[in-house]
Amino acid sequence: MNNIYIGECSIEEIIAIANQIPEFENSYPISEYKKRLSQVPFLALKAAVDDKDAGFKLGYELNDDTFYTWFGGVLPFYRQIGLADQMATAQEGWAKARGYKRIKLKTRNYLKPMLIFALKSGFNITAIEERPDINQNRIILQKEL
């Protein structure tokens, strides 16, 4: 694993990668992407290792000051080599260059690795949306840029 690529990609590429990530067994339909992304600036990134798709990160504008990092993941085989960090750094740089002041994200209680990643990356918990199943609670985090 020598050649790592982080760059912009299509929504179709995002969907293809998301469908390979076990945690996303019920991934979003194309209609959800169109609904969220059709009227706002967005950034779709993918990570590839030795020309093989390995992960993705997708976010969009919430308002003039806030960029929302909506959806992302890394295929199990490529975890622990820094791809999530590299994609987050690229996304943050892109957002900051466009004048956003903060990045928000929402994760679920059962996705512990994502929560740990966000906290280690400088995000702070700002709210919790409770659900009947505690594992499905949404945890909202924010990072100032």
Q: Which of 143, 12, 15, 2 is nearest to 78 (CA)?
A: 2
* CB contact at 8 A, 116 and 79: no
CATH number at 4-103 = 3.40.630.30
31-90 pLDDT tens trace: 888 899 999 999 999 999 999 999 999 999 999 999 999 999 999 999 999 999 999 999
Question: pTM for the full model?
Answer: 0.91
Kindly tell me if the per-residue pLDDT of 112 is higher than 70.
yes
Spatial separation of the C-alpha atoms in residues 105 and 76, rounded to whole Å: 21
Spatial separation of the C-alpha atoms in residues 30 and 77, rounded to whole Å: 26
User: What residue spans define the domains of the chain?
Assistant: 4-103
Kindly report the backbone phi and psi dihedral angles of residue 133, in degrees, each rounded to the nearest multiple of 5, phi listed first.
Answer: -95, 115
**Bridge partner list, 124:** 142
* CB contact at 8 A, 41 and 59: no
